[in-house]
């Protein structure tokens, strides 16, 4: 070993390790009671007089009911500390428990996941079933946080001790039985980093199908709708179905594209989703089997970074019933995802793809997290997770962003959001 390696054990390329704390005597302090300003300050003023070290702390408030848990090093005169804390608890009219022990919390087992559960409503029987399946696997719930209480109820469970892939399979079956949505994501730094959202357009970002809206103006809506339904269910090849549907639009004035764009209705929560995640540095792309004459305008309006779609041929102000350029089909959507990830400098593992139809399957598979949004059964079975509530902004709860954080950011920007219902 050379002198540099002897001076610095990391010189051989091995990562520096933080020394583990030797086990010592500790106190677990738990206070419960009505929350009010100054509770935590008074408790820590008492602790400070004894020079204890804070090892861990958790605090939650439910309907103004406070639960404060502190793990601290045990001083020599721990009984005097307990007496001081009892005085504080009496002053605050709170309950106090002090328990002696040794060491820090037990190390959490391998296999760390975020399990997000969404329900409208979220019934106690569903939570019991989900937590029961987690327990059956020998896993532990380390923490539970509420992400939203309206328009859906969303909770995030921090789970350890179970393989995320196996946990996903078990909980997907339970989600179907309980009529709730459950997303399982392995805990990693990617959840906090810059990410790319790649989203389908028809029946995902917007309600309905653009080609059917055009067909209504061309007088062939029923024929197009039948072909669309077959394609979305995966019963016929998307490329073949698209060409067949576009052919039915021959002769339609190109002005109908402007009319359809004006009639588009965004999915509930779509603007909120894009606005909020863009603030956090996320990049957005839309990838559609629809038409660039519509999606390019949509991207510009919403501030979306990238767009890929098929282009309708227009000659003398009318649709010819043909497409021009490279076809954006099932494989084309996945290729666009990889291209946009490269342009953004985001690894594919940090890409989130959202779609509803069979032509989204390759794109959902290519992403680190594939979300089936109000999707066909075939797509729900293949995706990493499914969201079946009609609100696109529910996607953000899967990313660890709470409804309260979303609304606080909107208020700071001067955007008024509706008040939540009482209850």
Q: How many residues does the chain have?
A: 423
Q: How far apart are the first and last CA of the chain?
A: 68
Distance, in Å, from the CA atom of 319 to the CA atom of 46, rounded to the nearest integer, reads 78
Per the annotation, the verdict on 181 as an active-site residue is no
DSSP 261-288: HHH--BPTTHHHHHHHHHHTT-EEEEEE
Angle at 372 between CA 122 and CA 310, to 5 degrees: 145
| Cβ count within 10 A of residue 312 | 23
| Catalytically annotated residue among 200, 329, 356, 362 | 200
Q: How far is CA 111 from CA 82, 135, 371, in A?
A: 37, 14, 22
Residue 130 in contact with residue 139, Cβ under 8 Å?
A: no
Tokens standing for residue 372: 């089936």
Is residue 77 part of the annotated active site? The answer reads no
Q: Which residues of 319-328 are buried (b: 16+ CB within 10 A; e: fewer)?
A: bbbebeeeeb
Alpha-carbon 14 to chain mean position: 34
Structure token pair of residue 299: 């991207």
375 in Cβ contact with 89 (< 8 Å): no
How many other C-beta atoms are found inside a 10 Å radius of the C-beta of residue 376?
18
Query: What is the rounded CA–CA span in Å between residue 44 and residue 422?
Result: 34
Query: Interior CA angle at 201 toward 198 and 203, to 5°?
Result: 125
- What's the sign of the alpha-carbon dihedral 367, 370, 373, 378? positive
CA distance 272 to 392: 9
| Residue linked to tokens 């949509």 | 298
Cα(373)–Cα(398) distance, integer angstroms = 13
CB 113 within 8 A of CB 187: yes
Q: Which of 202, 329, 356, 393 is catalytic?
A: 202
CA distance 196 to 281: 9
Please report which helix (H) or strand (E) contains residue 87, including its range.
helix 78-92
Catalytic residue ranges: 200, 202
């Amino acid at each position: 070993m050379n002198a540099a390696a002897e001076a610095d054990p990391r010189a051989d390329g091995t990562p520096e390790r933080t020394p583990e704390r030797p086990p010592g005597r500790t106190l677990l302090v738990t206070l419960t009671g009505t929350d009010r300003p100054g509770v935590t300050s008074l408790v820590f003023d008492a602790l400070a007089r004894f020079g204890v070290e804070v090892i861990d702390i958790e605090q939650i408030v439910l309907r103004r009911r406070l639960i404060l848990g502190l793990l601290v090093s045990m001083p020599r005169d721990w009984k005097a500390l307990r007496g001081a804390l009892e005085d504080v608890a009496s002053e605050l009219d709170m309950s106090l428990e002090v328990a002696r022990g040794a060491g820090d919390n037990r190390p959490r087992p391998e296999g760390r996941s975020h399990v997000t559960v969404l329900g409208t409503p979220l019934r106690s029987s569903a939570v019991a079933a989900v937590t029961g399946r987690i327990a059956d696997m020998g896993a532990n719930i380390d923490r539970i946080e509420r992400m939203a209480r309206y328009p859906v109820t969303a909770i995030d469970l921090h789970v350890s001790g179970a393989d995320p892939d196996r946990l996903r399979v078990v909980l997907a079956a339970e989600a179907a039985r309980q009529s709730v949505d459950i997303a399982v994501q392995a805990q990693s730094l990617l959840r906090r980093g810059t990410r790319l959202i790649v989203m389908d357009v028809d029946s995902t970002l917007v309600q309905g199908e653009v080609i059917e809206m055009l067909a209504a103006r061309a007088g062939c809506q029923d024929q197009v709708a039948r072909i669309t339904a077959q394609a979305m269910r995966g019963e016929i090849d998307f490329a073949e179905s698209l060409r067949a549907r576009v052919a039915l639009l021959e002769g339609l004035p190109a002005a109908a594209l402007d009319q359809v764009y004006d009639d588009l209705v965004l999915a509930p929560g779509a603007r909120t989703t894009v606005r909020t995640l863009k603030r956090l540095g996320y990049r957005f792309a839309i990838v559609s089997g629809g038409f660039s004459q519509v999606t390019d305008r949509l991207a510009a309006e919403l501030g979306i970074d990238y767009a890929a779609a098929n282009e309708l041929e227009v000659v003398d102000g009318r649709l010819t019933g043909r497409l021009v350029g490279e076809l954006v089909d099932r494989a084309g959507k996945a290729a666009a995802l990889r291209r946009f990830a490269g342009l953004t400098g985001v690894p594919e593992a940090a890409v989130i793809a959202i779609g509803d139809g069979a032509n989204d399957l390759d794109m959902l598979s290519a992403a680190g997290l594939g979300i089936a949004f109000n999707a066909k059964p075939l797509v729900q079975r293949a995706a990493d997770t499914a969201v079946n509530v009609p609100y696109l902004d529910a996607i953000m709860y899967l990313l660890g962003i709470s409804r309260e954080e979303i609304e606080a950011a909107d208020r700071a920007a001067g955007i008024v959001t509706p008040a939540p219902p009482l209850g």
